[in-house]
Amino acid sequence: MSTLSLARAPAGRRAFGGRQALIEKLTGIGFATPAIILLLLIDLVPLGVLGVLSFTDYELGGTDAKYVGLANFSKAMADPVFRRSMWNTLLYVAIVLPGSVGLGLLVAILVHGRKRTRSFYEMVYFLPVTATLIAMATVWQFLLHPKLGPVNAFLRLIGAGEYAFLSEPSLALPTLAVIGMWQLIGFNMVLFLAGLSSIPKDLYEAAEIDGCANGIDRFLTITWPLLGPMTMFVIVTTSITAFKIFDTVAVMTRGGPMGSSEVLLYAIYLEGFQYFHTAYAAALTVIFLAFILAFAVIQAFVLDRRVHY
Amino acid sequence: MRAAQAKPAGAGRIVRLAGRLLGGVLVHGFLLAGAAFMLLPFVWMLVTSIKPPDEIFTATLSFWPKQFYGYENYSFALTSAPLLRFALNGVLICACILVVQLLVAIPCGYALAKLRFPGRQTLFVLTLLALAIPVQVPALPLYIALADLGLLNTYFAIMVPFFLSVFAIFLLRQFFKGFPDDIIQAARLDGMSEFEIVWRIVTPSAWPAIAAFAVFSIVAHWNDLYWPLIVISDVKLAPPPLGMMFFADAETGSNYGALTAAATILTAPLVVAFLFARRRFIDGITMTGVK
């Protein structure tokens, strides 16, 4: 069928071309229209509205709003809650990022060398990625309970004392960070495994002949340089995910104790959807977006480099 | 090659063998310790969900329950909160979102990959930009609009921000780009409309990409909390994470037997699906990174 049609094609192409181009134009626009409408309604128009709101004093339910310039942004700079949230969010990223990237890489390298047990480890480490974090957060809360939780029961058993992981201000954020790592290590491991399998085997054999006998040498001369682009990519995606921390805070600590686990998205949520300080929340969202876009620019840059590798 | 390098002396060989054995023990020791950390919450969730309250409240490290209390915990959880309703809400929401996402993204991805039309380049750049914007950014204006329209507390409100997946458009565009032009041209000359070409010829070929995207989308929306928390206050409409939150609040976090039973019920669908289709899940969720 298709051979016949192809044979016919060249003869009629010229006359066909103009009409075909028109059909293509119309169907192209037609096919893209639903997506364009949704893109406008869900992303572009709200983005514009958000920008405008951040320069006003609008509050949900209020009838009028006036232009206040940068007042919301200078308010944010002076707001202790916002400053603390920003600091805590960055601190959270600073803990989760090296932890989940480093451990993800280490686990990937060790799992990559296994043959029979590889799929078992892959499955176990990936399991937290699919689990509903809110449900698991409730379980973590129980695990870490000062009196009833098995973690403290174990610590008492070995004589290490008792820790109120979630109600001690200095421990709350690091504890949430450990849970964040628990969920991210498997994800990063899989990305690193993909990177590792793309490294040609004969490179290692060549290195062995050249005298790179032990594992650390091989890692430093081959694995690490060739894994570089993937590592950059994992660092950026992990930063974005960690920067968006919200779920565990909302369920386990609600920003407490004493504001020690207040984070940016939780602050935006409270201001925008609990206190209805809409304009102020819009300004905070603009700041949030600025960070996300900064990460995205780095990511685009990294992806671009990956293509040329 | 390895044999050529090995020293002829038997003693050296034994040392190397012992070294490798020790290495293996260390590697497995490390990996198993990590695996235990990964599994700890799951195992403890299952065990606690079948323990009676007095065993939960005696804070000793006893692993297996002396008295089986699973029936009581699960039936309490199921009767005091509409857990199955939450799970059904999750299924409904994920299914509707996925169907609309595909209905919108497939033709758009095809148009971007294979058709010349004015504004194509602009649309593609906008798609790439939108790729970076998480739902938390347009959340405020969308919330105001839904409140004005009286649409808060509806299934529509939960789903609408996700009807457009720029990620799906991007992924399918990349996939369709590799589809041979000759076949499309032949179908055109056979009198097939572009509509038929998209749905009957090109889409079936994109099955792996669609399956991977489906996993990605379902996992993301089954587990999403931020947006449902904002637009839903009616318990009956809650998807699983929000339902879990309502339930935990109502139980004031003390009835751990019932709480872990509820957590088990709401986590089970995805975890079981993952155990059955491991490869597809891993590929689907991580394809953002690999592709």
Say yes or no: A116 and A244 in one domain: yes
Name the 3-class secondary structure at A67: strand
Task: Provide the pLDDT for residue B90.
Answer: 94
pLDDT of A148 over the 70 cut: yes
Distances (CA, A) of A164 to A172, A304, B22, B196, B255: 9, 46, 38, 62, 19
Contacts of A46 in chain B (CB under 8 A): 137-138, 140-142, 145
Contacts of B39 in chain A (CB under 8 A): 124, 127
Q: What is the 8-class DSSP label of residue A198?
A: T
A289 is a domain residue: yes
Residue A6 to chain B, least CA–CA distance (Å): 6
10 Å Cβ neighbour count for A164?
A: 16
Minimal-distance CA residue of chain B relative to A25: B117
- What are the pLDDT digits (tens) for A207-221? 777 776 677 777 887
Contacts of A230 in chain B (CB under 8 A): 289
Which stretches of chain B drop beneath a pLDDT of 50?
Answer: 1-7, 290-291
Calculate what percentage of chain A has a pLDDT beyond 70: 91
- What are the pLDDT digits (tens) for A184-239? 999 999 989 988 888 887 877 777 777 766 777 778 878 888 888 888 888 988 99
Say yes or no: A96 and A203 in one domain: yes
Determine the average pLDDT of the residues in A11-17.
Answer: 49
A64 is a domain residue: no
Mutate to test the interface with A, among B136, B196, B254 (most CBs of A within 10 A): B136
Task: Provide the pLDDT for residue A34.
Answer: 94
Mutate to test the interface with A, among B110, B286, B287 (most CBs of A within 10 A): B286
Task: Provide the pLDDT for residue A309.
Answer: 39
CA-based Rg of chain A, rounded to a whole angstrom?
Answer: 26
Instruction: Tell me the count of A-B CB pairs closer than 8 A.
Output: 303
A60 is a domain residue: no
Q: What is the 8-class DSSP label of residue B62?
A: -
Distance separating alpha carbons of residues B140 and B144, to the nearest angstrom: 6
Contacts of B145 in chain A (CB under 8 A): 46
* Residue range of the domain that includes A32: 1-53
A67 is a domain residue: no
Mutate to test the interface with A, among B140, B167, B222, B247 (most CBs of A within 10 A): B140
Say yes or no: A79 and A36 in one domain: no
Say yes or no: A142 and A235 in one domain: yes
Task: Provide the pLDDT for residue B231.
Answer: 94
Task: Provide the pLDDT for residue A305.
Answer: 59
10 Å Cβ neighbour count for B172?
A: 26
A23 is a domain residue: yes
Count of the separate structural domains present in chain A? 2
- Pick B116's closest partner by Cβ from A28, A123, A237: A28
- What are the pLDDT digits (tens) for A23-61? 888 989 999 999 999 999 999 999 999 999 999 888 887
Say yes or no: A142 and A262 in one domain: yes
Task: Provide the pLDDT for residue B7.
Answer: 46
Say yes or no: A12 and A159 in one domain: no
Task: Provide the pLDDT for residue A212.
Answer: 67
- What are the pLDDT digits (tens) for A248-274? 999 898 887 888 899 999 999 999 999
Say yes or no: A6 and A109 in one domain: no
Say yes or no: A82 and A25 in one domain: no
In chain B, domain spans: 2-71, 75-290
Structure-derived torsion over alpha carbons of residues B233, B238, B241, B246, reported in degrees to the nearest 10: 50
Minimal-distance CA residue of chain A relative to B160: A42
- What are the pLDDT digits (tens) for A245-254? 999 999 898 8
pLDDT band at A9 (very low <50, low <70, confident <90, very high): very low
Distance separating alpha carbons of residues B209 and B110, to the nearest angstrom: 13
Contacts of A27 in chain B (CB under 8 A): 111, 115, 117, 194-195
pLDDT of A127 over the 80 cut: yes
Contacts of B190 in chain A (CB under 8 A): 1-2, 5
Task: Provide the pLDDT for residue A19.
Answer: 80
Distances (CA, A) of B87 to A19, A138, A179, B236, B271: 51, 17, 24, 11, 13
Say yes or no: A144 and A278 in one domain: yes
Contacts of B59 in chain A (CB under 8 A): 147-149, 152-153
- What are the pLDDT digits (tens) for B139-184? 999 999 999 999 999 999 999 999 999 999 998 998 898 899 999 9
Structure-derived torsion over alpha carbons of residues B91, B224, B249, A244, reported in degrees to the nearest 10: 170
pLDDT band at A22 (very low <50, low <70, confident <90, very high): confident
Minimal-distance CA residue of chain A relative to B185: A6
- Pick A138's closest partner by Cβ from B112, B259, B285: B259
CATH 3.30.479.10 for the B75-290 domain, yes or no: no
Say yes or no: A10 and A156 in one domain: no
DSSP A4-51: HHHHHHHHHHHHHHHHHHHHHHHHHHHHHHHHHHHIIIIIIHHHHHHH
Residue A170 to chain B, least CA–CA distance (Å): 23
Task: Provide the pLDDT for residue A308.
Answer: 42
Say yes or no: A181 and A92 in one domain: yes
Say yes or no: A183 and A281 in one domain: yes
A65 is a domain residue: no
Task: Provide the pLDDT for residue B285.
Answer: 73
CATH number, position A243: 1.10.3720.10
User: Are A268 and B281 within 8 A, CB to CB?
Assistant: no
- Pick B225's closest partner by Cβ from A44, A113, A247: A247
Determine the average pLDDT of the residues in A240-248.
Answer: 93
pLDDT of A3 over the 80 cut: no
| Mean pLDDT of chain A, nearest integer | 85
User: Are B41 and A139 within 8 A, CB to CB?
Assistant: yes
